[in-house]
Structure 1
Amino acid sequence: MDKKVVKFVGIGFGLYAIFAALVLTFYEDDPDQMGWEDRQAFNQRFISALSIDENINRSYVIQTLGSPDLTEAKLKDDVSFQVMFYRTQHTQSDGITTKDECTPMLFENGQLIAWGDSAYEQFNNI
């Protein structure tokens, strides 16, 4: 009888290990389903890993990070500029996301050209 229990426990543990490995391998993070703290950390990790040498477009950022917390856009000389804000640093528990809690990402005709505080300054100077 004890051998049966050990056998079933071993099979159960093996199935659990396989299931956990499959979830970790194939499950993609969905920022829209994350709590605000997890999403903020996810945004911060993604943005800090960016390189200006990469060709990153607006669609890829939205697909990866989800909808921005705030956004602004303008058109100048048939060139579109959009700045999207993603929260990366919580400052006040008031239920409202403000620009000072976010990292701005500046896009020119859909291509990422700058991020960080200088990106919003560039956008304002356009």
Structure 2
Amino acid sequence: MGKALKITATGFVLYFLVAGAILHFYTANPETMTWQEREIFNRKYIGRLELGEHKESVMRLLGPPDISEARSTDEGDLLILFYRTQHVKSDGITTRDETTPLLFRDDQLFAWGEQAYTRYLGEPLR
């Protein structure tokens, strides 16, 4: 019985090592997700963003945006990246009302969400 216990214990240790390594080193690729998975992924990670994050690090995490815009304002040039976060209509097209806007000035995240978009650009999402 001692030998069987050692084999079982070794199996559990190996299992946990492999599972831990996968969980630690695996990074999700938003480009290969279904739209439902991507919405959940985007909501989860947008909720963890911090002001001042660099555009490149956000894009590395979330992948390419579904929609993007650039605008000049009195406060400077803005880049707005829109990421799909909620389903509205099953038409195969991602529209702005299905996305959350991330606003960047000088490649630094300074605001996100529909209210921020409206505040800085003076128009509601459509």
Fold-level match, TM-score > 0.5?
yes
2:78 aligned counterpart, secondary structure: strand
Contact preservation (8 Å) 1:81, 1:123: no
Runs of at least 5 residues in structure 2 that lack an aligned partner in the other structure: none
Alignment counterpart, residue 81 of structure 1, candidates 63, 78, 83: 78
Q: TM-score, normalised by structure 1?
A: 0.78
Q: Match for residue 118 of structure 2?
A: 121
How many residues are aligned here? Answer: 123
In the alignment, the residues of structure 2 paired with residue 74 and residue 68 of structure 1 have an alpha-carbon distance, to the nearest angstrom, of: 16
Structure 1 13/82 Cα, relative in aligned 2: closer, same or farther at 3 Å? same
Shift of 1:92: 1.6
What does residue 22 of structure 2 align with? 23
TM-score, with length taken from structure 2: 0.78
| CA drift at 1:71 | 0.7
Q: Aligned partners of 1:77 and 1:6: how far apart in 2?
A: 71
Q: How far did residue 60 of structure 1 move?
A: 1.3
Residues 1-126 of structure 1 aligned to structure 2 (within 5 Å): 15-51=14-50, 54-76=51-73, 79-125=76-122
State how far apart, in whole Å, the 1-side matches of 2:104 and 2:63 are: 16
Contact 1:103 1:115 in 2 (8 A): yes
Q: What percent of counterpart residues are identical?
A: 42
Unaligned runs of 5+ in 1: none
Q: Does the residue aligned with 2:92 lie in a helix, a strand or coil? A: coil
1:117, CA displacement in angstroms? 0.8
Q: Provide the rounded CA distance (Å) in 2 between the counterparts of 1:8 and 1:33.
A: 38
Q: Distance in 2 between matches of 1:77 and 1:123?
A: 10
Please tell me the root mean square deviation across aligned C-alpha atoms, in Å. Answer: 2.8
8 Å Cα contact 2:52-2:110 kept in structure 1: no
SS in 2 for 1:50: coil
